Amino acid sequence: MAKKGNKKKELSRIANLTKGFFKENPIFVFLLGMCPALAVTSSMETGLGMGILVIVVLTSSNIVISLIKNLIPEQVRVPSFIVIIATFVTIIEMLTQAFALDLYNALGIFLPLIVVNCLILGRAEAFASKNGPVASALDGLGMGIGFMLALILIGFTREVLATGAVAYGVYLPLGIEGSLINIDSYVLSMDVFVGPAGGFIVIGLWLAMFQAFSNRNTRKKADARKRWIEEKKHQAAERKRKKAMKEAGETS
């Protein structure tokens, strides 16, 4: 029994970690953090950089809030959460300025604005303030990774459509610079995707694809449940028929 309980707990933790990847993706499902999703995804690398910073802040703040949640008065709960988040944002802002100056300059005002990111405050209020540190850490890590993957996907699409290439080492301190892909085509030189309009278009397209996939899965589950119900009805009717035949045989 203990072994079964441990396995169930482990599966629960895995589900808690992975839920933000697709099923509860912050951007493509809940539409949280749309401001940085539009503003810092003109290239894949800036999206990746923002995603990493959000993971650090979200995971760290979730852990601290879950540890001190019982010490925070109800009247100042949200302001306290903001102070904790702002502390971690200040730390990562100074570290980014010291070790990744190009990324710091590229993110600009959107780096300190992580403090008011709906995703981070939302997870603090909805999850970290009601759960333990381990579960909160997994939640923060999973949601942060889901957010980062969405930014990478948007940034990759916009950069390819705008330049035909995906560069690395330009903003992140990797020590080397180059291109993951480099396609020389006049079709992949649409400057509109560098600006805000391109961000809206790309996010809209990916949202449509995620929604279509989600609707397809929902229909599959509904059809499977309908077949299961019909099968149960058939089995019940068959049992009733056999019982009636048996009673008729006994009567005769």
The phi, psi pair for 177, rounded to 5°, reads: -125, 150
Instruction: Give pLDDT tens digits along the chain (252 positions).
Output: 555 555 566 668 888 899 999 889 999 999 988 988 999 999 999 999 999 999 999 999 999 999 999 999 989 999 999 999 999 999 999 999 999 999 999 999 999 999 989 899 999 999 999 999 999 999 999 999 999 999 999 999 999 999 989 999 999 999 899 888 888 887 788 888 988 889 999 999 999 999 998 888 888 888 888 888 888 888 888 888 887 777 776 665
Contacts of 144 (CB under 8 A, 6+ apart): 20, 51, 54, 55, 56, 58, 59
DSSP 3-state of 167? strand
Helix pair 2-18, 133-163: axis angle to 10 deg: 30
Which helix (H) or strand (E) segment is 181 a member of?
A: strand 178-182
